[in-house]
Each structure stands twice: as C-alpha cells, then as structure tokens.
Amino acid sequence: MFRTGSRRRHDTGPAAEALRLVKVTKTYGSDDSAVTALDGVTLGLARGTFTAVMGPSGSGKSTLLQCAAGLDRPDHGIVVVDGTELTGGTEAELTKFRRGRVGFVFQQYNLLDTLTVAQNTVLPLRLAGRRVDRGRAREILTQVGLGDRLGHRPDQLSGGQRQRVAIARALVCEPRVIFADEPTGALDTRSARTVLRLLQEAVRVHGRTVVMVTHDPVAASYADSVLFLADGRLAGRLHAPTADAVAERLAHLGDDVTAGV
C-alpha cells in the first residue's frame, strides 16, 4: 500500500528527497525469452535537482523512468516518490497520486489523436478535476513555440512539435517531479535549447525535480549531474557535467561496469 515516510496522510509540502529507488528489478517476458531491463538499481535524488540519465539503447532508461514514476511496477524493490512509497496500491490510487506530483514526457509522446493541442495539454488537469487554466496552457505552449498551433491535432504536427506538446502537458500540472524520456530527441538545436531552459527553470525557479533521459551530451550538460546506465545497472555518476566530459565517459561506458553509485 501507499506509505508516506512519516505515516502522515496529508500532503505537507515537498519531501527533501524527491526520488529513492532501492534494489529495483524489472524483467520483461518469461523463461527463455526473459530480458532483465533493470537489475537491482539503487539511487536517491534530492529535491530541486536536475539529473540526466544516459546509456546505450536498450540499457533500461525508459524502464527506469516508468518504474520511478509509478507508471510501471517493478518486480522487486522499493520506489519512493516525494516521500511516498509506491509499492502496491491499485491503478486508480497510483494515478491519483501521480496527478499532483508527477509529470511525464513520453518517448513516444502519447498524445490523443482525437484532441487538439490545447485540449491535450490541459487533459491531465481536466482528468484530475482541477481548474483548467487556459491562459496558463497557452503561455506554456507559446514558450515551446506552439502558440499558433493550439487548434491543431497531433497528426497535423511534425514529430518535434508533438514532442513539445508532450512537454507542455507535463509542465502544466506543475508537478513536483518531472520525468522526461528523450524530450529533445526529435528537436533541432534551437528548440532543444528552449526546452532544456524550460526544464532548468522548473528546477531553479520553481524548485521542482527533473529526471531526463537523453543521448545527447550537450543536453546532459544542462543537468546538475548525470547517471550512467548499462545493461540495467548503474554504471557511474558525473557531477556538474560538461558535454566533453559526458561524451568521454559514454565512450568508455562498456569498459568499467560498476554497480551502485
């Protein structure tokens, strides 16, 4: 079930530790075709930090983010988000918990084709029964450069534009923890910079916590620290990363797989 660290039922502001994973393991498939996507990952992220997660394709980055956000359930291990343990609980309970605290930018965007850009952006608010602030939605969409596309449908947008709608949707709820899976993967350098600045601003100005998966060393350099993942295990951590240092580390990632941080 849900457990807050201090057994308090009421939400009493952000916890000091935004995210904690303890020995999280996730396996897909069964028997001979089983793939261990996460293999005993343990980590903790303080509130108000910007962390990048990097690693080769298939190393388990998306799985890590989805387990940490309560979208997917790990096979073993403990996930604590904003002071609340996510183990167990029904889907409805998990969903209600996520609404106020967690924002997610999906690698595949996951926008609804039947809704317009503006409607997609405010959908989480509407589902949560919260007041729909159209002005705020327009403001965020304008910030990501889509102020003139409010009435378009996702299938009328380019991949990069869809990605920016997904980012606006994650930001509009003003969540405490934002998970972004390759949020700049389909963007040109300039739009990518805008998005990274927005994420940085969420951390610096609003005190939110951001965890971002990326393959781009330059994008990673916007973060406070970088976590490296290889074969479902943590393979090192880099503080105050520069693009060059990250690229250097990535190049040698396969050489020294060390467990834990």
Partner 1 sequence: MFTLALRSIRQRPGRFLATLLSAFLGAAIIMTFNSMHDTAAGSGVDSVSSNTLTTAASVVGGYGSLLVFFAVASTLTVNVRQRAAELELLRCSGATPAQLKRMVVGEALAVALVGAALAIGPAMLGGRALLDLFQDSGQVAESVDYSFGPIALLTGVDITLVAAVGAAFLAVRRATRGQRRRARARTFLAYATLATGTLAVCSTFLMKATDEALMAPPAYGAILLSVGFALLAPRLLKGLLDRLALSGASGWLAVRNLRERAGELAGILMSLILFTAVATTTLTVQAVESDEVAASGLVKSVDAKNLETLNFTVVGIIVVFVCVMLVNSLYAATTYRSREFGQQRLAGATPGQVLGMVGAEGLVLTVAGVFFGTVAALAGIVPFTVVRSDAVLPGQAVGIWLAVVSVAAAVTVGTGLATARKVLRTPATEAVTLAA
| Helices vs. strands in the chain: H and E counts, helices first | 8, 11
Least distance between ligand ATP and beta carbon 184 (Å): 13
Enumerate residues 6+ apart whose C-beta is below 8 A from 12. none
If the CB atoms of residues 111 and 246 are measured against partner 1, the closer one turns out to be 111
CB 60 within 8 Å of CB 232? yes
If the CB atoms of residues 111 and 238 are measured against partner 1, the closer one turns out to be 111
Least distance between partner 1 and beta carbon 170 (Å): 10
Which residues of the shown chain bind ligand ATP in the complex (CB under 6 A)?
28-29, 35, 37, 55, 57-63, 107
- Other CB atoms within 10 A of residue 257 CB: 13
CB 231 within 8 Å of CB 38? no
If the CB atoms of residues 62 and 209 are measured against ligand ATP, the closer one turns out to be 62
If the CB atoms of residues 124 and 217 are measured against partner 1, the closer one turns out to be 124
The residue behind tokens 């943590």 is: 234
Backbone angles phi, psi at 150, to 5 degrees: -55, -35
What is the side-by-side strand order in the sheet with 3-4?
Answer: 3-4, 84-85, 76-81, 17-28, 35-46
Q: How far is it, in rounded angstroms, from Cα 4 to Cα 85?
A: 6
Least distance between partner 1 and beta carbon 237 (Å): 26
Which residues of the shown chain bind partner 1 in the complex (CB under 8 A)?
66, 71-73, 91-92, 95-96, 98-99, 104, 106, 108, 110-115, 119-120, 123-124, 126-129, 169, 173
If the CB atoms of residues 37 and 192 are measured against ligand ATP, the closer one turns out to be 37
Strand intervals (E) in the chain:
3-4, 17-28, 35-46, 50-54, 76-81, 84-85, 102-105, 177-181, 209-213, 225-230, 233-239
Least distance between partner 1 and beta carbon 244 (Å): 35
Residue 50 binds which of Mg ion, ligand ATP, partner 1, none (CB < 5-8 A, kind-dependent) = none
For residue 83, the 8-state DSSP code is T
Which residues inside 107-166 make contact with Mg ion, applying CB under 5 A? 107
Residue 119 binds which of Mg ion, partner 1, ligand ATP, none (CB < 5-8 A, kind-dependent) = partner 1
Residue 35 binds which of ligand ATP, partner 1, Mg ion, none (CB < 5-8 A, kind-dependent) = ligand ATP
Q: Which of 24, 55, 60, 62 binds Mg ion (CB under 5 A)?
A: 62
Return the CA Rg of the chain. 18
Residue 57 binds which of ligand ATP, Mg ion, partner 1, none (CB < 5-8 A, kind-dependent) = ligand ATP
If the CB atoms of residues 109 and 140 are measured against Mg ion, the closer one turns out to be 109
Q: Tell me which residues touch Mg ion (CB under 5 A).
A: 62, 107
